[in-house]
Amino acid sequence: MTVYPTPEFTKKVVALPEQFRREVKRFIDFISSSRKDELLKSQMHFQTERLAENLYQIRLRDMRIFFSFGGTNEEGLLLLDLNTHSATPSAQKTFFAVNDPRVNSAFNPKYNSSINPNYNSSINPRFNSSINPRFNSSINPQFNSSINPHFNSSINPQFNSSINPRFNSSINPRFNSSINPRYNASFGGPFVYSPDLDQQGFLVRANDSVSLKFDEAGEFAGTLIKANDQVMVEFDKDQKWMGYFVQANELVQLRFNAEGEWSGLVV
């Protein structure tokens, strides 16, 4: 069977400890010499679990590998993602990131001027009024009630249990270790960074309009609400408006406070 790893899967494998990489290689060697029906029926080497239509997982030690079938022929297998689980939380203060601005200059505004608001006026709210809530009322929660959790209960975790980590364990890092970088060493992000690229927390997608922000310890710290395709407005855990995030490119968002001062990024 032909194996097609996604770029994200490859990045995570490279960051794994040697013993985990050996296990992944053993799995890839096995599926490369197997047929689809053999893999699905195999219980001796690896136990395959079906999660959804054409979505499967394999458990290896403390890892889970997610894959589907496809590619250029029916016997192709696409390696989608993996995560690792530890029984005890990591004590480290910084975590592995798939797109790490500390080691990859493409995600570092200091070296990539296209994502630096000091050099790219199109992503600077001081020069581009369309992304500045002070001048564009449609992205200002003080004027647009649809993006204000005080007026729109569907985006307020206090009233919508599906986006409240206290009631929905699937979006709570305390109960879902796969979205907790302290337990899942291959979580990968997105992480929130200060202007000096210190990790300050991470994001978990709740639905198409809402993302939840957690601090480094996995404590709920606030929500991000989609205002339009380029801007998300930020609220703290008490639903106080803190600022907004501007999409700099497909993977990077710049963080601004309510006064329009650049205060970090998400990647």
Residue 63 near residue 23 (C-beta atoms within 8 A):
yes
Check residue 55 and give its pLDDT.
86
Give CATH for domain 2-84. Answer: 3.30.2310.20
pTM of the model: 0.73
pLDDT in tens, 85-116: 665 555 556 788 999 999 999 999 999 999 99
Task: Identify the CA nearest to 206 among candidates 193, 220, 194, 217.
Answer: 220
* 125 pLDDT tier (thresholds 50, 70, 90): very high
Residue scoring higher pLDDT (123 or 35) = 123
Residue scoring higher pLDDT (20 or 68) = 68
183 pLDDT higher than 90: no
Calculate the average pLDDT of the chain: 90
Query: Which pairing describes strands 2-5 and 76-84: parallel, antiparallel, or unpaired?
Result: parallel
Check residue 73 and give its pLDDT.
55
Neighbours of 258 (CB within 10 A): 17
Count helices and strands (H / E) in the chain.
3, 13
Check residue 88 and give its pLDDT.
56
CA distances from 171 to 20, 207, 226 (A): 26, 10, 18
Average pLDDT rounded to a whole number, residues 172-178: 90
Residue ranges of domains in the chain = 2-84, 105-266
Phi, psi of 106 (to 5 degrees): -65, -25
Provide the percentage of residues in the chain whose pLDDT is more than 70.
93
**Lowest-pLDDT choice from 79-88, 171-180, 195-204:** 79-88
Dihedral sign, Cα of residue 232, residue 236, residue 240, residue 241: negative
Check residue 225 and give its pLDDT.
98
Neighbours of 12 (CB within 10 A): 25
Check residue 159 and give its pLDDT.
95
57 pLDDT higher than 90: no
Lookup result for tokens 């590998």: 65
